[in-house]
Amino acid sequence: MKYTLTQNALSSLSIAIEKFKSIYYESNEIEESKFDENLKICAIFLENSIELLVKAILAHNDPESIYDKPQNSPNIQEAKREVDKDNKLEDILIYIDNIKTITYKCAITKVCDNICKSEKAKKILLNLGYIRNAITHFGIVGKDEEYIITFIEVFDVIYNYLFSKIKEIDEISDYFTDDDFLVKTVHGVKPLFDKNYIYDNIIDFLDELLQEGRGWCYEVRVKNPDYKINKFLSIYSDLVNSEKFKEMLKNYGANFQYESDNIDIEIKNDNGFFDYLLATYSPFYNYTCFKGEYGNIYFVVEHSQDKILVYNDYMEMPEYNKPEFEEWQWKAHIDDGICTEYELNEENLKLAFENILKNMN
């Protein structure tokens, strides 16, 4: 058996994706013991694939950066003299025993601090490391859905934070292509879709998952009182059914259409202006963003903090296929007056909707 760094990364990612498909798409069709086993295997191999992908990215930028104290290793110094266009440092050192690489935590910190520059990505990947360590070294108890949400967040990191760097690595870039009828996998060339009509290639699988995954996360979290989403929904329901809300709509000549089981909203006024408010949930921040049809943010509900951000200036919300705002960026929006933060209550939610109506007139 021989696995290079990149081959090993792809193999582990392939195993993780197959097990994830089972626990995400087929959870009602498999026995509980099999579900738990697949969840465990997914966590182990997803963490392993992340470690290897991150080290591949680091090695692509600086071949010595993935080794622990390379300057003190005679084997590494000797191997450096053998490096040429056909032999990379890691491909030479694979034949030498006891070569010590940096830890998972160190690799994640290096990539997230210096290459991705994302505190969000670092927190997600370190949390995955904690889950993997608990499973492999002792035991773990938790909600199945929350582990799946963690896996979705990790796939988000691969897609939106690591992918641009992975594409630069020749040995694995071919496995991250999209829209081909036949796709390259670690097990050879396969059709674009598997037997369950789920994408078989990495990029299209991630793209489809992230398009609909946030909605799935919202449906899970809305049932959990710890995330306080129902508090917002209760305030929202009371407001839109109140006389003061109806009077406000009348004053602006506006029409407000919504369905009780859906928080997407259509607003239009007598002048013919209208917009469709789309609700996008962020499982990482536990925020729900209400944005216009063209992506402009109207307001954001910070469920855990019981706050609401009402946007005064135009700001587009990143789509599912772009990195989310970092915490410092949300704070900068407040500090720079792009939005104003209020307590989450009925009066301030009414203010948020009134702000939309003012912009439409």
Segment 287-304, tens digit of pLDDT: 999 998 889 999 999 999
**What's the pLDDT at 178?**
64
| Residue position matching structure tokens 């990191």 | 157
**What's the pLDDT at 148?**
96
Please indicate, yes or no, whether the overall pTM of this predicted structure exceeds 0.85. Answer: yes
HSE, CB side, 13 Å, CA atoms: give it for residue 198: 13
The predicted-structure confidence for 5-60, as pLDDT tens digits, reads as follows 888 999 999 999 999 999 999 888 889 899 999 999 999 999 999 999 999 999 99
Distance, CA of 5 to CA of 94 (rounded, Å): 9
Amino acid at 151: F
Confidence of residue 273 (pLDDT cuts 50, 70, 90): low
**What's the pLDDT at 1?**
61
Higher-scoring residue by pLDDT: 72, 108: 108
- In this predicted structure, the answer to whether residue 127 has a pLDDT above a threshold of 90 is yes
Q: What's the mean pLDDT in 125-139?
A: 92
CA-to-CA dists, residue 12 to 9, 47, 156, 162, 208, angstroms: 5, 9, 17, 16, 20
Confidence of residue 172 (pLDDT cuts 50, 70, 90): confident
Q: What residues does each domain of the chain span?
A: 5-67+102-221, 227-360
Considering only 128-142, 157-171, 174-188, which range has the smallest mean pLDDT? 174-188
- The percentage of the chain sitting over the pLDDT mark of 90, rounded to a whole number, equals 61
112 contacts 125 by C-beta, under 8 angstroms: yes
**What's the pLDDT at 299?**
96
Higher-scoring residue by pLDDT: 258, 284: 284
Distance, CA of 50 to CA of 155 (rounded, Å): 10
121 contacts 157 by C-beta, under 8 angstroms: yes
274 contacts 267 by C-beta, under 8 angstroms: yes
Q: Taking the CB of residue 333, how many other CB atoms lie within 10 A of it?
A: 20
**What's the pLDDT at 271?**
65
Confidence of residue 161 (pLDDT cuts 50, 70, 90): very high
Ramachandran sector of residue 246 (left: φ over 0; alpha: ψ -120 to 50; beta: rest): alpha
Higher-scoring residue by pLDDT: 14, 361: 14
- In this predicted structure, the answer to whether residue 177 has a pLDDT above a threshold of 80 is no
Which residues are paired to 341 by β-bridges?
Answer: 309
**What's the pLDDT at 180?**
67
Segments of 125-213 assigned E as strands? 182-185, 188-191
Q: What's the mean pLDDT in 191-200?
A: 73
SS3 253: coil
Confidence of residue 173 (pLDDT cuts 50, 70, 90): confident
- In this predicted structure, the answer to whether residue 208 has a pLDDT above a threshold of 90 is yes
Q: Taking the CB of residue 120, how many other CB atoms lie within 10 A of it?
A: 22
Q: What's the mean pLDDT in 153-174?
A: 90
What's the first-to-final CA gap in the chain, in angstroms? 69
**What's the pLDDT at 259?**
65
**What's the pLDDT at 94?**
82
The average confidence (pLDDT) of the chain is 89
Closest CA to 334 of 356, 312, 361: 312
**What's the pLDDT at 276?**
80
Ramachandran sector of residue 126 (left: φ over 0; alpha: ψ -120 to 50; beta: rest): alpha
Distance, CA of 44 to CA of 39 (rounded, Å): 9
Confidence of residue 75 (pLDDT cuts 50, 70, 90): confident
Distance, CA of 305 to CA of 330 (rounded, Å): 13
Q: What's the mean pLDDT in 194-217?
A: 87
**What's the pLDDT at 359?**
79
Length of the chain: 361
Considering only 8-17, 40-49, 160-169, 273-282, which range has the smallest mean pLDDT? 273-282
Q: What's the mean pLDDT in 335-347?
A: 97
